[in-house]
Amino acid sequence: MNTPADVLVVGGGPAGVAAALELRRRGVEKVVLLERDCHLGGATRHCSHSPFGMREFGRVYFGAGYGRRLEREAEQAGVDVRFGHSVVRLGEDGSVLVTSPQGVETLRARRIIASTGAREQPRSARLISGDRPIGVVTTGTLQSYVAFHGLMPFRRPVVVGSELVSLSAILTCLAHGARPVAMLEQGSHALARAPLTWLPSLTGIPFLRGAEIVDIRGRDRVEAVQIRHAGEIRTLECDGVLLTGRFTPEASLFLQSDTGVDAGSAGPAVDQDGRSANPLLFAGGNVLRAVETGGWAFREGRSVGAVVAADLKRDPAAPEFIPVTYDDPVKLTVPSLLRPSHLREGAFWHFQLRFRRRAVGRLSLELDGQAIWSRRGRWLPERRVLAPLPPRALLAAHVHFRFQEES
Amino acid sequence: MPLQSTPGHASFDVAVIGAGVVGCAVARRFALAGAKVVLVEKGADILSGASKANSAILHTGFDAPASSLELELVRAGREEYLEIYKQLGLSLVRTGALVCAWSELEAGKLEDIARQGRENGISELGLMTAAAARATMPTLSNGLVAALEVEGEHIIDPWSAPLAYLTQALALGCVFLRGTEVLRGEFDGRWRLETSAGILEVGAVVNAAGLYGDTVDKRLGLAPEFEIKPRKGQFVVLDKAAFRHVPRIVLPVPTEITKGIVVCPTAFGNVLIGPTAEEQDDRVRATVETRTLEALLVRGAEIVPALAGIPVTAVYAGLRPATEKKAYRVIARPEKRAITLGGIRSTGLSAALGLARHALQLHEGFGAAFAPPSALPAVSVPNLTETCQRDWQQPGHGEIVCHCELVTRREIEAALASPVPPGDFGGLRRRTRAGMGRCQGFYCNARLAEMTRGRLATPLAVDEGRKP
Ligand SMILES: Cc1cc2nc3c(=O)[nH]c(=O)nc-3n(C[C@H](O)[C@H](O)[C@H](O)COP(=O)(O)OP(=O)(O)OC[C@H]3O[C@@H](n4cnc5c(N)ncnc54)[C@H](O)[C@@H]3O)c2cc1C
Ligand SMILES: Cc1cc2nc3c(=O)[nH]c(=O)nc-3n(C[C@H](O)[C@H](O)[C@H](O)COP(=O)(O)OP(=O)(O)OC[C@H]3O[C@@H](n4cnc5c(N)ncnc54)[C@H](O)[C@@H]3O)c2cc1C
């Protein structure tokens, strides 16, 4: 491609496809979607027991079916989808370096939207002690084994984590003849909500709270784990460890670029339009923050697509931004930058927040030292928290989330 | 691998026991000399022991004990590596090192280290003020007091090098038996080696069994002269985003027992922090420990503050085949036609080619001679490092299988079809880097399970699940 595209979308999960569809719907001519896989759908493709598509398409799809629907939509909308195209580097000048079976090329566009999703953190990043045998995998990996290859990495895993995805992991195990030995949660409470947290007991899998792995044992394949639970060290025999949740944005393209990532979210810092510090680069979907549902990612991608369609009509130069600051235990906000806007509608009408840990207290939003919103409550980690993002926030010099903890 | 598959070869000039970096280099050297060599490895793949986990530094020997065999062989090994690496398709990253003093006390020792280095024959050494050192590496903490620059310390790919040595040996007729453990040996003018896969009849043995050097000597009925005392080293590997902050190898002022915690770039574009030095009795388990890994991260960020918060890509641990003494335990027993290359503790990657030459010389002392091959077959291994073109940059690679390390389908297929195909998943990772990146297989592990079906000693998948 010699002529630059209007927009390059990197990543064809729900967010990227939604952005591309919206750009085309708003009349943007040349929308190129680069997907390193040979299908669209991203992480939804291996989720065989979660319904997707109700809000966007008015019907329910499971697993790869949703991705196929996205493929049809993209084709009908005239999105130039290029499979097997892996973006290796984001240029600050609106270019990307891509590798595909044809070799490497540099593609250019007037704007770039990154929608590269999120993934679970592996054993290494969790710094878990022990041997390093085969059989320690994440939910995404397990689901890829069964959904794409009809294989299983273990039969009797110990499951670590109690997020929503942990329950999906258990369902996957049970549906494919694996019998989890136990489910461990480091904290004192499950992270997912009831009634989902009843699943382990309904299926007879011991759910140990306040438990963590202190040693993985096994020469070739996992043979056992030692756990610390209720002050005691115990050995659980097993043939695998299933690490669930602890999502992190797949933001390596930003991490390795001058734009960098946000310390809180580990994804690119964006403003109310989904625009990063570099005004040519936008982002939407789970790359912004871990972790949201497929439906949320789709809607977010669509909003960013709409903003980019409008932004194309202007000079890309953007005014200076201010960072959004917050007190501990707030872990992140999206957006985490704000800029005076020249657009009628931003991509985000809310601040999305996450908490680092359980906390009780009052969360307030202060514009230049003045609280304009506040809410008292019990705040839980990994739960979506929304706070309003009023237009006047874009004009403030200091935007801060204050947290007053109550013991 | 059954011995029957190598008819006419059950009798050899030399058996090399252990396919670590030392054994691979020795097999190559004897094959180059024209010997009929058998390399015997008990693991499912080469590099099943100490050689699979190290810091990947090609040392100069500046800090080796004066006039020691170790010094001589590190220098000889390094010199030969510099001669042959290009032909073999290997890499060299000329980073240089800074020995960093973080206190006046340490700074006082730099002078001695420099003097020792010069006596060791290393000339490119320069004492530097903190400001001068930070001018060559601005990301160093401003707690730096002084530094010693050692230009000749380089980084290599620690897995491709031994693979290349063995590949060349195989091209010269060496036979590689893996999954084959040497159990016993009897000498009666010639050696009769009893292995888990049958009997081998050989003229001489070279014990390069690393962590089992003492055990193998005993099994061969050779009087024990040393005892292996494994010393574990744990590492943290940081995301490629760290690479630009660490252009050079950052060494601490060493103590008597260890070279200390190093921060160094890798040939693959990551940054390593480690290794620890922990004595243990166990020769098998090389565990990582949460607390230690956390402490390494803290130490790394003290040395290079910009490393704080950069995500961890991998963690690993290796065992050094140390003994009760610091020196290499190289023993030649002419009356038994046996050579032991023992206690190659913490410089074996650098010294391997030197050790191999030394072993050949010792063997010549036994009065044996071979006819060198008339032609040397050209051999080269695929490049995995960021210093040269990678396969993903060339057309026709099929697809990217491992996205984090940009490993292509063509590379994986080539490794599986190579003269020394991977015997286990670790071996595949070391030959291709697949699954070694930041996601550690989140995206590619299932695909690799499919691609390696029936090929690995321990398969990734337990068996076929139900089709979706
Ligand atoms: C194990 C697991 C279970 C889940 N279960 C549920 C569930 O039950 N219900 C639910 O609603 N949601 C679930 N989710 C979340 C849901 O899948 C995500 O919310 C949704 O897929 C996010 O969409 P996205 O477009 O932001 O990113 P993704 O779907 O992750 O898509 C990112 C896309 O970008 C591509 N890409 C990445 N990097 C590059 C690059 N450099 N070059 C080219 N292409 C690239 C990827 O191949 C991928 O196709 C689950 C996720 C996982 C991992
Ligand atoms: C943490 C750490 C960091 C290091 N950093 C560096 C560095 O930066 N630079 C450097 O030059 N060096 C470094 N080293 C040192 C280097 O890795 C070692 O010196 C080297 O790997 C030793 O190799 P080897 O071949 O002697 O032993 P090994 O690699 O242990 O090989 C011995 C082989 O013999 C096999 N074996 C054992 N018993 C039998 C039997 N009975 N029958 C058949 N096979 C058998 C084993 O399976 C094994 O594969 C480091 C080492 C460690 C642990």
Q: Does residue A96 line the site of ligand 1, with CB under 6 A?
A: no
Q: What is the pLDDT of residues A315-345, one digit of tens each?
A: 998 899 999 999 999 999 999 999 998 788 8
Kindly tell me the burial class for residue A76, based on how many C-beta atoms sit within 10 Å of its own C-beta (0-12, 13-18, 19 or more): exposed
Half-sphere exposure of A242 (CA within 13 A, CB side): 36
Regarding whether A226 and A192 lie in a shared domain, the answer is yes
Predicted local distance difference test score (pLDDT) of residue B141: 98
Ligand nearest to C-alpha B350: 2
Ligand closest in space to the Cα of A56:
1
Check B290 against A88: CB less than 8 A apart. no
User: Domains of chain B: which residue ranges?
Assistant: 11-53+159-228+324-364, 97-154+232-320, 391-451
How far are the Cα atoms of A108, A299, A379 from residue A101, in angstroms, in the given order?
19, 32, 48
Residues of A in contact with B312 (CB under 8 A): 124-125, 127
Interface of A with B in 181-220 (CB under 8 A): 214-215, 219-220
Those residues of chain A that have pLDDT short of 70 are 1-2
**Domain B11-53+159-228+324-364: CATH class, spelled out:** alpha beta
Q: What is the dihedral of CA B72, B74, B75, B76, to 10 degrees?
A: 80
Residue A200 has a pLDDT of 80
Distance, in Å, from the CA atom of A247 to the CA atom of A145, rounded to the nearest integer, reads 19
B348 lines ligand 2 (CB under 6 A): yes
Which of B47, B85, B123 lies closest to B426 in space, CA to CA?
A: B47
Instruction: Match domain B97-154+232-320 to its CATH number in 3.40.50.12780, 3.30.9.10, 3.10.310.30, 3.40.50.300.
Output: 3.30.9.10
Same structural domain for residues A285 and A389?
Answer: yes
* All residues at 6 or more sequence positions from B126 whose CB lies less than 8 Å from its CB, including other chains: B148, B149, B151
Q: What residue's CA is closest to ligand 1, atom 16? A: A294
What pLDDT sits at residue B10?
79
Give the number of A-B residue pairs with CB atoms closer than 8 Å. 156
Give me the helix-helix angle, B409-416 and B425-432, nearest 10°: 120
Residue A21, CA distances (Å) to A28, A41, A84, A400 in order: 10, 14, 20, 35
Predicted ipTM of the assembly: 0.96
What is the spatial distance between Cα B354 and Cα B29, in angstroms, rounded to a whole number?
10
Q: In this structure, which long-range contacts are made by residues A220-228, counting pairs with CB atoms below 8 Å and at least 24 apart in sequence?
A: A220/A133, A220/A134, A220/B424, A220/B457, A220/B458, A221/A133, A221/A134, A221/A135, A221/B458, A222/A133, A222/A134, A222/A135, A222/A136, A222/A154, A223/A133, A225/A130, A225/A158, A226/A130, A227/A158, A227/A182, A227/A184
CB pairs under 8 A, 24+ apart, for A373-382?
A379/A329, A379/A355, A380/A189, A380/A191, A380/A355, A381/A187, A381/A191, A381/A331, A381/A354, A381/A355, A381/A356, A381/A357, A382/A163, A382/A191, A382/A245, A382/A291, A382/A354
The reply to whether residue B440 touches residue A99, judged by beta carbons under 8 angstroms, is: no
Q: Are B349 and B30 in contact (CB under 8 A)?
A: no
- C-beta of A163 in contact with ligand 1 (< 6 A): no
pLDDT reported for residue A318: 86
User: Do B11-53+159-228+324-364 and B97-154+232-320 come out as alike in CATH topology?
Assistant: no
Rounded average pLDDT per 10-residue block, chain B, 468 residues: 47 97 98 98 97 96 96 98 98 97 95 96 96 98 98 98 98 97 97 96 98 98 97 97 97 78 97 96 97 97 97 97 96 98 97 98 94 93 94 97 98 98 98 97 97 96 60
Alpha-carbon distance of B251 to B267, in angstroms, equals: 17
SS3 content of chain B, % helix, strand, coil (to 5): 30, 25, 45
B234 vs A: CB within 8 A: no
Which residues of chain B does A154 touch, with a Cβ-Cβ cutoff of 8 Å? Answer: 462
A136, A174: one domain: yes
A185, A316: one domain: no
Closest chain B C-alpha to A164 CA, distance in angstroms: 18
A50 lines ligand 1 (CB under 6 A): yes
| Same domain membership, residue A211 and residue A323 | no
Query: In terms of domains, do A128 and A111 share one?
Result: no
- Among A212, A227, A245, give the residue marking a domain's end: A245
Relative to the CA of A85, which ligand 1 atom is closest? 43
Ligand 2 site, residue B57, Cβ cutoff 6 A: yes
Do A204 and A292 belong to one domain?
no
Q: Is the pTM of this model over 0.90?
A: yes
Q: Beta strand B338-342 with B262-265: parallel, antiparallel or unpaired?
A: unpaired
Give nearest CA residue, ligand 2 atom 34: B18
Task: Give me the domain span that covers residue A131.
Answer: 122-245
DSSP A209-249: ETEEEEEEE-SSB--EEEEEETTEEEEEE-SEEEE---EEE
Q: Which atom of ligand 2 approaches the CA of B40 most closely?
A: 43
CA nearest B377: which of B39, B88, B24, B22?
Answer: B88
Using a CB–CB cutoff of 8 Å, tell me whether A154 touches chain B. Answer: yes
- What's the domain count of chain A? 2
**CA distance to partner chain A, nearest, from residue B391 (Å):** 9
Shared-domain flag, residues A390 and A267: yes
Which CATH number do you get for residue A218? 3.50.50.60
What is residue B257's predicted lDDT score, i.e. its pLDDT?
A: 60
Distance (Å, whole) CA B88 – CA A65: 48
- Roughly how many angstroms between the first and final C-alpha of chain B, as a whole number? 36
Residues A108 and A132 in one domain: no
* Direct distance between the N- and C-terminal alpha carbons of chain A, in angstroms, rounded to an integer: 60
